[in-house]
Amino acid sequence: MKIHLPRHLKTALKIILSVGILVFVLYKIDTKALLEVFAQVQPLWLVPALLFFAMSKYQSAFRLHRFLVYTDIDISVSFNWKLYLLGMFYNLFLPGGIGGDGYKIYLLNKQTDAKARSIFWAILLDRVMGLLALFCLAAGLAVAATLPHFYKTYSWLLIPLAIGAYYYFIKIFFSRYRSIFIVTLIQSFLVQLAQMLSALLILFAIGVYDSTADYLFLFLVSSIVAALPITVGGIGSREITFLLGAQVMQLSTSNSIALSLLFYIITALVSLTGMYYSIKTEKLK
């Protein structure tokens, strides 16, 4: 028997979960050591980290534009970028990063002739393409990370299996997108590589130059977890993944949480630019 909760109650529960996870993470780590890490941050490294993240989001928006065009939605690159920024802004406060997608579906359905169902599938397939690249990079990086020998030996085999499975899924159920599979997959890898570079520069900013493969592996895994609609804007999900992963891989929990929080701050700074289109809604017409 399914229990249907009101939307505002679901949001409230996810806010409570996000706050609860953060409190738990802060309780489990040495907060004094974490503050010392933040006190020693070298800001010059954070500037290119922010730029690489912004570049990754622009490439991600361009990938979404390709999916929308192949859904026969007449939308300009400029309008798509504005809508993407607005979606990022909404994702800061709404559960699991899906609130912005919901608004995109609503606005595109309102301002174009496209059906909401078609827009939904285009956006969902675009998101799955991003997750596919994340998964493949994590599987590849597992070879260099401090993991059990079994995973280091066989994890790379998951890459062609995952790509092949998603390709045949697209081919069978969404054949109209088959012709853009390769180009959007390449774009997805560019997106995630840019974000990995951003994370690497954050590590340099906090003075971490060793075990970078381990930290970046956790970063990729945490990005997959943060995409799940279980917390508000992914906050909390990423931190708990870093905490547990750092304990398993014997990494500094303070450095791990600092990386997670600084990446969230960079994400928030870029996302806040979408506030302009939330206020100036006429710019989206």
Query: DSSP state, 230?
Result: T
Cα–Cα distance for residue pair 59/103, rounded to 1 Å:
20
Q: How large is the average pLDDT for residues 209-234? A: 84
Predicted local confidence at residue 227, as pLDDT: 81
What confidence tier does 135 reach under pLDDT thresholds 50, 70, 90?
very high
pLDDT at 97 over 70: no
Alpha-carbon distance values, 104 to 128, 174, 196, 234 (Å):
17, 20, 27, 19
Contact 83, 116 (CB under 8 A): no
b/e code 1-37 from CB counts within 10 Å (16+ = b): eeeeeeeeeebeebbebbeebbeebeeebeeeebeeb
Of 240, 238, 215, 262, which is closest to residue 25 (Cα–Cα)? 240
Residues 193-213 have pLDDT tens digits of: 999 999 999 999 999 998 999
pLDDT at 107 over 60: yes
pLDDT at 112 over 60: yes
Cα–Cα distance for residue pair 172/180, rounded to 1 Å:
14
Q: How large is the average pLDDT for residues 235-248? A: 82
Residues 39-56 have pLDDT tens digits of: 899 999 999 999 999 999
Cα–Cα distance for residue pair 87/237, rounded to 1 Å:
20
What confidence tier does 121 reach under pLDDT thresholds 50, 70, 90?
very high
Contact 47, 239 (CB under 8 A): no
Supply the DSSP string of 257-279, one letter for each residue: HHHHHHHHHHHHHHHGGGHHHHH
Contact 185, 130 (CB under 8 A): no
For residues 5 and 174, which has the higher predicted lDDT (pLDDT)?
174
Residues 18-40 have pLDDT tens digits of: 666 666 666 567 678 888 888 89
pLDDT at 95 over 60: no
For residues 31 and 246, which has the higher predicted lDDT (pLDDT)?
246
Supply the DSSP string of 1-69, one letter for each residue: ------HHHHHHHHHHHHHHHHHHHHHHS-HHHHHHHHHT--HHHHHHHHHHHHHHHHHHHHHHHHHHH
What confidence tier does 2 reach under pLDDT thresholds 50, 70, 90?
very low
